[in-house]
Amino acid sequence: MEPLTFFLLVFGAAATAGALGALLGLGGGIIIVPVLSLLFGVNFHYAIGASIVSVIATSSGAAATYVRDRITNLRLGMFLEMATTTGAVVGALVAGYLPGRVLSVIFGLVLLHSAWSLFRSRHEDIPAGVEGSPLATRLCLHGAYVDPALGRLVRYRITRVPQGFGLMWLAGLISGLLGIGSGVFKVIAMDLLMRAPIKVSTTTSNFMIGVTAAASAGIYFSRGDISPFIAAPVALGILTGTILGTHLLLRLRGAAIRKVFLAVLMVTALQMIWEGFRGSIR
């Protein structure tokens, strides 16, 4: 294969990952890592380095639009970043001491359980009948946004703040420990526990994942895991893809996004369980 062909194919795969990631609040590592390592035989270290770059590019590229369109809940994101950043640091510190493979299986099963809850609410555009908690009021976490697909203003209230914060801490821990699945857990924490509308959950997750990834990007960069030749088509492809993904999010209904997310959630869960049994978790 010519290097130019490689560049264009990776650009295309990254654009797909960027579109999906911008729509679902994920980093795109779920696509980038297998494509690079299995399809093109890129060394695993470079694939992980490129995936970190893809998370940051998806986050900033998508959030630029969502913050401007006022769908992202900034305070919710910033408040929960306290949990994800500390969780990520603890995860990296204890990575050598905890059984990564066992945890991967456990968290995979947790995801499968969440998939069931999500399946039951798959027709829901926005959550109904949520009574906001006093703590969420104290933290100014309730919000509203204009949903073009529903053609109206959506007001929502946030609940179960401590539980959501706890799951966010775990999401950070998992990303520090295993390097995968952090966006999926963030969306679940906001959607299923704190009861934010799905579009608010995915866009706020998008806003947050860049910070979690930036915290660990420094070490990958100085270790030499971020190869310019591989990271360049990934970064450029992702940034292009997020333009498409942000347009999709505005047009699709919440229920449609829930179903796409459910499919990706199942894949991630099975991937984590599979990796745990096969033992390729670092």
Partner 1 sequence: MRTDQNHGDPIAPMTRMELAISVVLRWGVLVSGAVILIGILAFALTHRTGYAQVPPHDLRDLLAYHQNRGPGYFPTAVHEVAAGALAGKPYAIVAFGIILLIATPVVRVAMSVLFFLSQRDWLYVAITMFVLAVLLASLFTGVG
Nearer to partner 1, 86 or 121 (CB): 86
Interface residue with partner 1, options 15, 32, 56, 158 (CB under 8 A): 56
Does residue 92 belong to the site contacting partner 1 (CB under 8 A)?
Answer: yes
Nearer to partner 1, 6 or 12 (CB): 6
CB of 24 to partner 1, least distance (A): 19
CB of 53 to partner 1, least distance (A): 6
Nearer to partner 1, 84 or 104 (CB): 84
CA 122 – CA 125 distance, rounded (Å):
8
130 contacts 156 by C-beta, under 8 angstroms: yes
How many residues bind partner 1, per CB under 8 A?
Answer: 70
Choices 72-80, 100-108, 112-120, 263-271 (CB under 8 A): range interacting with partner 1: 72-80
Nearer to partner 1, 152 or 278 (CB): 152
Closest CA to 61 of 243, 249, 244: 243
Residue at 61: amino acid letter: G
CA 167 – CA 191 distance, rounded (Å):
12
Give Rg (Cα) of the chain.
Answer: 18
Does residue 280 belong to the site contacting partner 1 (CB under 8 A)?
Answer: no
Does residue 131 belong to the site contacting partner 1 (CB under 8 A)?
Answer: no
Nearer to partner 1, 68 or 123 (CB): 68
Tokens 């470079």 locate to 46
Closest CA to 115 of 260, 236, 5: 260
CA 76 – CA 55 distance, rounded (Å):
20
